[in-house]
Structure 1
C-alpha cells in the first residue's frame, strides 16, 4: 500500500530538491505543504490523510490534542535532534515513531554576524537610500574592533560566534547560569561575573541559549534597562528568551541603539504584528537554519529515516537515547 508523506512548512517549495526522495518511489507519495496552519483544527485537517509527516524546526506544535486526532500518522520526523513542541509520551501512546535529523551550527552563527554587522553599519537604510535616490551617506557606523561583545550562552553556537568576535578584535565575554571558567578559557573569552554586569558593559549583546524554564523571559524590562543607549541586541535563538513587549518598548523609546532578530513569538508573523514596523529593528523571517547545507542534511536524513522506518529499524529516534 502506498504511504503518504507530508512535508509541512515548506515555505519556499524546495524540500523536494534536497534529499533522495526518488528512492521512495512506489512506496511513498510525498506532498509539499507550503501554507502554515492557523490552528490545531487546520493542522489536523491538513494532515488527516498522511502516514508520515516531516516538520520543520519547532514552528508547528504536536501536542497530544493533535496527535490523538491523527489516527493514520505513524512516523513524525523533526529537523534537528531536539524538539520541545512534540509530546513524546502522547506519540508513544498513539503508536507514532518520532525521529530527528542532524543539523549544523554554522548557519545560525553566520546569520548572527549578518544581523550584527547590518546593524553596526546601517546597511539596510544605506542601501535603501542609495537605491531610492536618498542622501549619500546618512549614518555613522559603530566600530567592532576594540568594542565589547557580550554573549548569553557559550555552547556550540555561542562559542563559534565568540571566535568571530575575537577575529574582529573585539573584547568578548560570556555568561550563562552554568557557564564555567574552564569553558570560557577554552574558547578564549572572559567570564562575566553576572548577567547584569555583562548587559551593562557590552556594546553588542547576542543571545545563544536554549529555551527552558530558567531562560524564558531572561531579558525583561529590568534587564533591557541595563543596556547602554548605544548597545545593539541580537537574538537568533528563541524569541521567548527576550520579553517581546519590553523589547518593542525599548526600540520605540530609543533606549537601545537597535536590535537584530530572527525569531518571533508567532511564526510566521501576522501581517499586522508590531515587529514588522518597529523602529531600530533589523528582522529576518527565521532564516538561521535556512541554508543549502542544512536543508541537504535535514531532508536527506528525513529520507533516510523514512527508509529505515519502512525497513522496520527506525534511526535517530527522539527523544535522544530512545531505543
Structure 2
C-alpha cells in the first residue's frame, strides 16, 4: 500500500526512527517535500495513495480531493484534528480518519525563544555581525535602539492552558510579573500557580509589556483581538502569537504596529501559510518564523510514531 506524507519541508520523515514502523508490512512510503497549493495538482500528486498522513494543517483535504481519490482509505492527521479535513466527505466515501495527540512543550519553548530574541534584538544584531558590523542592529545609526531585559516587566498570557501555563512559568522564572486573562478555567489554574488573573480585557492589554496569545481557534475566538486591544498596549511592548493567526482581526496588527502600539510583534503563525507570511517577513518591527512551534525532532518522533501506528494497524487489518 502506498503511504503518502504531505508537506515534509525538511525531508526528515523517512529518516525518523518512527518510519521503521512501516517496515515489513508492504507499505511504500512516498514523501512530498514541497507544498502543493493547486487542488488539481494535489489530486494528481496523490493518485494511487491508500493512506495519507498530514503534518498538522499544512494542507487542506477537501471534498473534491477525497472524491477524486477512490483508492484513498485512511487519512491520519498528526496532532489533533483541526478542521483541514472534510470529515463529512470522508464519511460519505468510506475514508477512515485518525488523529494523534498534541505536544505543548515544543511550542512553549519556541514562544519563549521568540520573547527573548525579540526583546534583546538578537536577530538584527546577528545579521549585522554576519555582515561584519559590530554591535549594531540597524543600518542607520539614527534608527539604532537597545534591547530590553525581561526581569521586572509584565508578561500577559491569554489562556492558561497546556502551552500558556508553561509560558507563564517561564516568565515567572525570569522574574516577570505574570498576568493571565481568559475564561474561568484559566482563572483557576492561574491563581493556583500564583499568577494574577485579570478579567478586564482592555486593562490586560494595557498592562502587558509582553503579551502572548494561547487561545484555541474556534468560532468564538476567530478575530477576537481587535485594533483597539492592540493599541491599548504600552509603548515599547511586544505581542507574541504562536497559536493561530486568525485570532487577530485581518489587517489590524500591521495598523497597530504603525502606531507603535505594540512596538514589536513576534509571529510563528500566519493566515494562508506559507504565502501569508510575506506580509510580515522583513518588516522592521516583526520577528517572523515559519511556523516552527512543533518542528523539532522529539515532537516529530511522537507525531509520526502515533501516525504510523495508525497506518500499521490499518494495513494489518
Category of TM-score, reference length = shorter chain? over 0.9
Match in the other structure for 1:297:
302
Which piece of structure 1 moves more, 228-237 or 81-90? 81-90
Question: Any conservation in 1 of the 2:53–2:307 contact (CA below 8 Å)?
Answer: yes
Alignment CA distance shift 1:31-1:94 (3 Å): same
Match in the other structure for 1:102:
101
Q: How many residues are treated as equivalent by the alignment?
A: 309
1:151 to 135, 157, 160: 157
Check if 1:231 corresponds to 2:230: no
Cα deviation, residue 7, structure 1: 0.7
Match in the other structure for 2:139:
none
> How many Å separate the matches in 2 of 1:96 and 1:242?
34
Per-residue CA shift, 1:93-114, capped at 9, x if unaligned? Answer: 2111111123321110010011
Alignment CA distance shift 1:181-1:154 (3 Å): closer
Check if 1:288 corresponds to 2:288: no
Cα deviation, residue 195, structure 1: 1.7
Cα deviation, residue 20, structure 1: 3.5
Check if 1:115 corresponds to 2:117: no
Q: Secondary structure at the match of 1:30?
A: strand
Per-residue CA shift, 1:292-314, capped at 9, x if unaligned? Answer: 100111112222111111233xx
Cα deviation, residue 180, structure 1: 4.8
Per-residue CA shift, 1:6-54, capped at 9, x if unaligned? Answer: 1100111111111133643451111110111112222212112211111
Per-residue CA shift, 1:160-217, capped at 9, x if unaligned? Answer: 1111111111110111244453222122211112221110111000010110111111
Per-residue CA shift, 1:44-95, capped at 9, x if unaligned? Answer: 1211221111101112112323222221110101011232222222212211
The correspondence of residues 11-90 of structure 1 with structure 2, limited to 5 A, is 11-18=9-16, 19-21=18-20, 23-25=22-24, 27-90=26-89
> How many Å separate the matches in 1 of 2:73 and 2:35?
21
Match in the other structure for 1:317:
none
Per-residue CA shift, 1:134-176, capped at 9, x if unaligned? Answer: 2535542212111110011110000111111111111101112
2:193 to 187, 191, 205: 187
User: For the aligned residues, what is the CA RMSD?
Assistant: 1.7
> How many Å separate the matches in 1 of 2:79 and 2:230?
31
Check if 1:160 corresponds to 2:158: no
Higher normalized helix content (fraction of residues): 2
Match in the other structure for 1:258:
264
> How many Å separate the matches in 2 of 1:181 and 1:53?
40
User: Gapped runs of 5+ residues in structure 1?
Assistant: 313-323
User: What TM-score does the superposition give when structure 2 sets the normalisation length?
Assistant: 0.92
User: Gapped runs of 5+ residues in structure 2?
Assistant: 137-143
Question: Any conservation in 1 of the 2:268–2:289 contact (CA below 8 Å)?
Answer: yes
Alignment CA distance shift 1:23-1:45 (3 Å): closer
> How many Å separate the matches in 1 of 2:157 and 2:276?
30
> How many Å separate the matches in 2 of 1:299 and 1:180?
31
